[in-house]
């Protein structure tokens, strides 16, 4: 009977253009859009071009250009004049530029109105490059002053982290949780059209009627995440640095959590209109707070902590580890999986407590 | 004769409100029982409790000798429900709908396919079976609604307003189908707003009002015992005067109103009724006497017309 219920709901879903678009097409549009917006890290292996101007033959300028060219993530682009370097930053053609006069301080051209989270890393890296270039010759022979290392127990990341390593899971989680809305909508619609009465009148235990309505959406949710990660890997070069088993276990936990949330929505919602309005806003806010649209790392500390009150942030922490950190196993993302299962238990518990078969 | 459906002291409360007080009713195997009552009388709640859709506050339901409370799966398998709503999936085809509803009764494979083919033939939808239901007319949807309740070949079928809102051709088709099912020995519980359907189809009629059965018997018994001679008045005057006349008439008998027409079963003589109406400012344009029938029996028992809103 549950197999037939799955078949029936898949038939219905395949004929529901709106649901198909929101579950399968919109996430792809968002992945492409956000992937293009967040070109951080070694995006496609392309270093960030930095226009640099110095007077012809100026030794200091040439040294800075050499160091800049050797700095990971940057490349020096010589321009004809200081004004040209400034113009390029003003026109947002480049994020920053260096103007090296014959004497006096080097001018770092950068839009000071940029948020510090965006401006800071560029400013810091360019300042370091300039300081290395201007250091006395003997200093370069000394051992490095500072070396970046992951803390013990944190696996080594991929060499090149494309923006799609973040935007694919971000949008998969954001839209993956929309299965909660689809699940809840199916309950409300079944009640409205009277098929729920038929189900209750049939020789089917009530727990089975509930499971038969939830399981199809669990299956659809798993299919949705499989599709999105598949497209991410095949279409956008997303890599899985950790174990595939960990990715699968995490994804199954995410869908369980989303479907449980759907049961809670179904228990409290009275109409499709109410669900479509309030439910969508709730899911979007949860996704926003959880870091689905903007990585939590760029958020203030308070917002980063607040993120942990929604399951989306735990899901994303887990996905980041599996997709970016090499050798990540199920045990490494146990906190994420545990939190997702905990949220699922709370949502399902509240949903079952509030759910009325005979409304 | 066996009892197909037995309701004993069946009642339902929603908080402080009692929807059904206590219903005692036996539906005999192979009979067609009409369930009549004004809107809000408790018919749908009674049907819902009988089907296991709503849990009763008190009393018991037995279907084909099996207790619904103790053996719900066995009891429910004997019963088919045709709800008042068009409880089918409009995006799916008739076959896809029936495959799902049949599976709820553990029908699978060749047996399910045979049952679907049979029921599509019964309701006359075999040639449209692979079209999405949303392309059907209202009457065809009603016929599929009936088919979904029949697909598992129940011993007892409960039809809640099966012909409401359909074209005369489909209504006639549904009516004839139900009649044929009755002839084939299926037990039927039939609710309808169409008195003539109930009169033509049902062996017995139970009249429900205010959450209780107020009369039960054959149509001829009910008419003989309860139907007084009715009169029909056509009134003239302002809408306010006609409203007032309706209220005044209610003090002198059971009244059903349809616009400017009042159908009344007077409790006393005609003279005080006419005087009371004329005192309101309305005038009687036309007066006719009506034969006693199920409708006048219903009116006398419930004080309301069948289509009145409670």
Q: A4 and B85 in contact by Cβ < 8 A?
A: no
pLDDT tens-digit readout, B120-166: 999 999 999 999 999 999 889 999 999 999 999 999 999 998 888 78
Structural domain boundaries, residue A27: 2-39+162-354
Q: Are residues A92 and A216 in the same domain?
A: no
Cβ separation of B87 and A202 shorter than 8 Å?
no
Judge if A28 and A66 occupy the same domain: no
Q: Which of A185, A197, A200 best probes binding to B when mutated, by most B CB atoms within 10 angstroms?
A: A197
Instruction: Please report which confidence band the pLDDT of residue A247 belongs to, taking 50, 70 and 90 as the band edges.
Output: very high
Q: Flag if B86 and A200 touch (Cβ within 8 Å).
A: no
Whether A240 maps to a domain, the answer reads yes
Across the interface, whether the CB atoms of B86 and A194 are under 8 A apart is answered yes
Residue A13's closest chain B neighbor by CA? Answer: B91
The confidence score (pLDDT) of residue A160 equals 74
In the listed set A140, A173, A190, which residue is the last one of a domain according to the structure? A140
Is residue A145 a part of any domain in this protein? no
> A204 — contact with chain B (CB < 8 Å)?
yes
Closest CA–CA distance from residue A20 to any residue of chain B (Å)? 14
Do A309 and A176 share a structural domain?
yes
- CB contacts, 8 Å: A7 with chain B: 100
Binary contact (A15, B96; C-beta < 8 A):
no
Residue A146 lies in a domain: no
What is the arithmetic mean of pLDDT over B291-296? 75
Q: What's the pLDDT tens digit per position in A214-234?
A: 999 999 999 999 999 999 999
The partner residue sitting opposite B83, judged by closest CB among A16, A194, A204, is A194
What pLDDT sits at residue A39? 57
Q: Please, which residues 50-69 of chain A have a Cβ atom closer than 8 Å to chain B?
A: none
Kindly determine whether residue A202 and residue B76, on different chains, have CB atoms separated by under 8 Å. Answer: yes
User: Is the domain of A268 the same as that of A314?
Assistant: yes
pLDDT tens digits, A180-212? 999 999 999 999 999 999 999 999 999 999 998
Structure tokens at A55: 């007077």
CA–CA separation, B206 vs A29, rounded Å? 61
Which of residues A140, A175, A198 is at a domain's end?
A: A140
- On whether both A173 and A299 belong to a single domain, the answer is yes
Q: What is the mean pLDDT of residues B186-192?
A: 93
A251 and A114 within one domain:
no
Average pLDDT over residues A86-90: 94
Instruction: Report how many domains make up chain A.
Output: 2
Q: Are residues A185 and A257 in the same domain?
A: yes
Over residues A265-311, the pLDDT tens digits come to 999 998 888 888 899 999 999 999 999 988 787 777 888 888 899 99
In a domain, A151, yes or no: no
Q: Which helix (H) or strand (E) holds A66?
A: helix A59-70
In chain A, what residues touch B52 (CB-CB under 8 Å)?
200-201
Verify whether the Cβ–Cβ distance A199 to B104 is below 8 Å: yes
Share of chain B above pLDDT 70, in %: 96
Check if B105 contacts A (Cβ < 8 Å): yes
Mutation to test the A interface, candidates B90, B102, B104, B108, most A Cβ within 10 Å: B104
What pLDDT is stored for residue B165 in this prediction? 79
B99 in reach of chain A (CB within 8 A): yes
Supply the pLDDT for residue B34.
94
Q: Do A193 and B86 touch (CB under 8 A)?
A: yes
Return the pLDDT at B309: 39
Would you say residue A154 lies in a domain? no
Q: What digits encode the pLDDT tens for the residues B163-180?
A: 887 888 888 888 889 999
pLDDT of residue A41: 44
Q: Establish whether this prediction's ipTM goes over 0.95.
A: no
Domain co-membership, A232 together with A324 = yes
In a domain? residue A197: yes
Per the document, the length of chain A is: 359
Q: What is the pLDDT of residues A127-175, one digit of tens each?
A: 988 988 888 876 767 777 777 777 777 777 777 777 888 889 999 999 9
CA distance A359 to A352: 14
**What is the rounded average pLDDT for all residues in chain A?**
89
In the listed set A109, A140, A171, which residue is the last one of a domain according to the structure? A140
> Which of A28-42, A55-69, B50-64 shows the highest mean pLDDT?
B50-64
Instruction: With a cut of 80, say whether residue A12 has pLDDT above it.
Output: yes
Q: Based on the fold, state whether residues A274 and A343 are members of the same structural domain.
A: yes
Q: Is B88 or B197 the better-scoring residue by pLDDT?
A: B88
- Tokens 């253009």 found at: A17
What pLDDT was estimated at residue A42?
42
Q: Tell me, yes or no, whether A117 lies in a domain.
A: yes
Q: Residue A257 pLDDT more than 70?
A: yes
Task: Inform me whether the C-beta atom of residue B86 falls under 8 Å from chain A C-beta atoms.
Answer: yes
- The mean per-residue pLDDT over the stretch B44-58 comes to 94
Q: Is the pLDDT of residue B220 over 70?
A: yes
Q: A170 and A54: one domain?
A: no
Q: Which pLDDT value is given to residue A140?
A: 66
A64 and A168 assigned to the same domain: no
Nearest CA in chain B to A194: B87
Q: Is residue A109 part of a domain?
A: yes
CATH code of the domain in which A82 resides: 3.40.190
Structure tokens at A90: 């003003």
Q: A198 touching B, CB under 8 A?
A: yes
Please give the pLDDT value at position B221: 83
Domain match, A307 and A191 both: yes
DSSP H or E segment with residue A108 = strand A107-110
The answer to whether the CB atoms of B91 and A4 lie below 8 A apart is no
């Amino acid at each position: 009977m549950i197999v037939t219920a799955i078949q029936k709901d898949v038939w219905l879903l395949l004929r529901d253009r709106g649901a198909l678009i929101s579950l399968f097409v919109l996430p792809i549009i968002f992945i492409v859009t956000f992937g293009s917006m967040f070109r951080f890290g070694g995006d496609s292996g392309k270093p960030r071009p930095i226009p640099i101007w110095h007077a012809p033959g100026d030794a200091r300028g040439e040294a800075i250009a050499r160091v800049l060219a050797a700095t990971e993530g940057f490349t020096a682009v010589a321009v004809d004049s200081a004004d040209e370097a400034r113009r390029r930053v003003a026109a947002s053609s480049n994020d920053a530029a260096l103007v090296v006069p014959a004497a006096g301080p080097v001018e770092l051209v950068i839009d000071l109105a940029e948020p510090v989270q965006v401006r800071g890393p560029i400013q810091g890296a360019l300042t370091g490059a300039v300081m290395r270039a201007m250091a006395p010759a003997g200093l370069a022979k000394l051992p490095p002053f500072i070396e970046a290392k992951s803390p013990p127990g944190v696996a080594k990341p991929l060499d090149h982290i494309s923006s799609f390593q973040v935007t694919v899971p971000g949008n998969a989680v954001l839209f993956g949780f929309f299965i909660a809305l689809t699940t809840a909508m199916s309950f409300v619609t079944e009640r409205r059209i009277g098929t729920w009465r038929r189900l209750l009148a049939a020789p089917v235990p009530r727990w089975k009627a509930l499971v038969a309505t939830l399981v199809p959406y669990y299956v659809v949710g798993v299919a949705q995440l499989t599709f999105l990660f598949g497209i991410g890997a095949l279409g956008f070069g997303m890599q899985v640095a950790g174990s595939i088993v960990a990715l699968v276990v995490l994804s199954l936990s995410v869908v369980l959590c989303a479907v449980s949330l759907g049961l809670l929505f179904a228990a409290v919602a009275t109409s499709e209109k109410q669900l479509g309005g309030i439910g969508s806003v709730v899911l979007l806010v949860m996704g926003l707070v959880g870091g689905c649209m903007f990585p939590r790392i760029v958020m203030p500390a308070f917002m980063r902590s607040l993120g942990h009150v929604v399951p989306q942030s735990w899901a994303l922490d887990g996905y980041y580890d599996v997709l970016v950190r090499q050798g990540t196993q199920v045990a490494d993302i146990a906190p994420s999986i545990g939190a997702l299962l905990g949220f699922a238990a709370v949502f399902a518990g509240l949903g079952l407590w509030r759910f009325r078969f005979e409304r | 004769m066996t009892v197909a459906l037995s309701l004993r002291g069946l009642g339902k409360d929603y908080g402080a409100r009692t929807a059904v007080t206590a219903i005692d009713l036996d539906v005999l195997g192979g009979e067609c029982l009409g369930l009549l009552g004004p809107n809000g009388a408790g018919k749908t709640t009674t049907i819902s409790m009988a089907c296991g859709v709503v849990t009763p506050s008190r009393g018991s339901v037995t279907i084909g000798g099996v207790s619904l409370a103790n053996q719900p799966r066995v009891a429910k398998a004997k019963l088919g429900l045709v709800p008042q709503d068009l409880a089918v999936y409009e995006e799916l085809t008739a076959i896809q709908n029936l495959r799902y509803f049949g599976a709820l009764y553990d029908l699978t494979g060749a047996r399910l396919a045979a049952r679907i083919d049979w029921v599509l033939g019964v309701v006359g939808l075999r040639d449209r079976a692979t079209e999405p239901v949303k392309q059907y007319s209202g009457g065809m949807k009603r016929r599929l609604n009936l088919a979904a309740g029949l697909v598992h070949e129940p011993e007892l079928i409960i039809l809640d307003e099966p012909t409401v809102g359909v074209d005369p051709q489909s209504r006639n088709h549904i009516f004839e189908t139900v009649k044929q099912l009755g002839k084939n020995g299926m037990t039927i519980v039939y609710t309808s707003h169409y008195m003539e359907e109930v009169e033509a189809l049902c062996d017995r009629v139970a009249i429900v009002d205010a959450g209780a059965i107020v009369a039960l018997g054959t149509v001829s018994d009910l008419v003989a015992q309860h139907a007084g001679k009715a009169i029909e008045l056509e009134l003239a005057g302002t809408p306010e005067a006609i409203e007032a006349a309706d209220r005044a008439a209610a003090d002198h008998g059971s009244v059903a109103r349809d616009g400017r027409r009042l159908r009344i079963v007077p409790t006393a003589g005609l003279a005080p009724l006419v005087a009371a109406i004329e005192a309101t400012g309305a005038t009687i344009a036309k007066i006719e006497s009506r034969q006693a029938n199920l409708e006048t029996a219903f009116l006398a028992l419930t004080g309301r017309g069948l289509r009145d809103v409670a």
